[in-house]
Amino acid sequence: MIRLLLIILLALLIGTGLSLGLQYDLGYIRISLGHYLIETNFWVGLSLIVALIVLTVLTINLIRRLRTSTGLVAGWIARGNERRARRRTTQGLLALAEGNWPRARKLLTSSASHADTPLINYLAAAQASFESGDHEAVDELLRKAFDSTPGSDMAVGITQAQLQLAGNRLEQALATLVRLRKQSPHHPFVLKLLKNTYLRLEDWRELSRLLPELRKRSVLSEAELNDLERQVWHNLLERAAEDCRRQQQQDPDASLEPLTRLWDELPGFLRRDEYTIRDYARLLAGLGDEVQTETLLRKVLRNHWSDELINLYGRVKGQKPDEQLLLAEQWLKDRPNNPELLLALGRLSLRNELWGKAREYFETSLRLKRSREALAELSRLNAHMGEEEASVKLLMQGLAKDNGLPELPMPRA
């Protein structure tokens, strides 16, 4: 109300001023523009100037409003595009989860340009293309994913490596993972994928070099790491033994240095591991170095007893078979009822041509544990000692028991 009164008062004052001013002749205004001459009364000129100023101000305000309204329209359109992109992205991810690969790829790629996170759209679309078997589209979508989001090299690279592994493109996956590891040497998931790639490529040497980093970064559990390390070194020992066999075919006197050198490279816990020692001893014996095999097994068995290793000890020929037998008989004092030790003693007795003692050891081993090995050894010994009937009887008993034959009436001879 007060503001209205002030406006009315101001209008009255201006009107009064103008009416008083018009009574006086203040001259005229003359404007010359080229060949044109404009003359007008001062008050008329003043009115035109004021009108021009007002018109200019109104035009500027109109332009500003048009700009604002255009921005609002553009913002409204942009928000609509974003809403549609979110909806289509959700639909695309659902189609991906349902296994509808073509629909998933179409929805995800079409909405990527307006999506909040285009990287997710392109990576998911690459997954859909892979499942559809379109590998060229996979590479193109991964490139778009990389271009869409700065700093996405690791995420895109890991996705690429996973898809390459899933598609059995092992060499390409290895190249991708090696590049990623240069960027981030300690990334746990990159190390795990690299481990899987080396395993599938059966690149045991590179895997052996990766093992310390896997253990340091706790990529796998302790038990999984130990099993993996056994597997790696087992295969490396096998390959070294194969190299030795090839060398022996060319030169029967070739050394076993590739195998023995690799044994020296083994981690400490594996050099004390029963299964690794067994594998190495079998390889040594298979290559003809039974003397070194017997020495290794003797040292191990003195400090760590193993039924598997004593079985192998009875199979190899040491430098002095008589001392080998005496040592095993000393072990029998501490383990009088060990069937594997008794089997080994029987074999060592045979090596020393102690036939009666060998048969006694085999029979005792059989009484404690009916094993095929002890049965076969005793049957073979009986046959060579002229007791064919006892040998055949043992074999028949063994066959019947091993095959679970039922008790049935038989004709009498």
Quick one: pLDDT band at residue 329, thresholds 50, 70, 90?
Answer: very high
Residue 123 located in a structural domain: yes
Instruction: Give the helix, strand, coil percentages of the chain, each rounded to 5.
Output: 80, 5, 20
Q: Is residue 224 part of a domain?
A: no
pLDDT of residue 315: 93
- Tell me the mean pLDDT in the region 63-88: 61
Q: Answer whether residue 309 is part of any domain.
A: no
319's CB contacts (< 8 A; 6+ apart) are 291, 294
Domain contains 116: yes
Confidence of residue 93 (pLDDT cuts 50, 70, 90): confident
- 133 assigned to some structural domain: yes
Total domains in the chain come to: 1
Strand 36-41 to strand 28-33: parallel, antiparallel, or no bridges (unpaired)? antiparallel
pLDDT of residue 30: 64
pLDDT in tens, 198-232: 999 999 999 999 999 999 999 999 999 999 999 99
Predicted confidence band at 68 (pLDDT cuts at 50, 70, 90)? Answer: low
pLDDT reported for residue 11: 61
Q: How far apart are CA 391 and CA 251, in angstroms?
A: 42
In a domain, 134, yes or no: yes
- Can you tell me the distance from the alpha carbon of 42 to that of 16, in angstroms, rounded to the nearest whole number? 18
pLDDT digits (tens, 9 = 90+) for 147-166: 888 888 899 999 999 999 99
**pLDDT tens digits along 267-314:** 888 888 888 999 999 999 999 999 999 999 999 999 899 999 999 999
Mean pLDDT value across residues 341-366: 93
In this prediction, residue 235 carries a pLDDT of 95
- pTM for this one? 0.69
Of the candidates 282, 307, 231, 244, which has an alpha carbon nearest to the alpha carbon of residue 296? 282
Residue percentage of the chain with pLDDT more than 90 = 43
Q: What is the pLDDT of residue 135?
A: 78
Residue 348 domain flag: no
Give the relative orientation of helices 321-334 and 339-351 as an angle to the nearest 10 degrees. Answer: 160
> Could you tell me the CATH number of the domain that includes residue 131?
1.25.40
The percentage of residues in the chain with a pLDDT greater than 70, rounded to a whole number, is 78
More confident residue, 65 or 343: 343
The tens digit of pLDDT for each residue in 100-124 reads 888 888 888 888 777 778 888 888 8
Using pLDDT thresholds of 50, 70 and 90, give the confidence band for residue 77: very low
What are residue 31's DSSP bridge partners? 38
Owning domain of residue 98: 85-150
Whether 124 is covered by a domain: the verdict is: yes
Is 338 in contact with 361 (CB distance < 8 Å)?
no
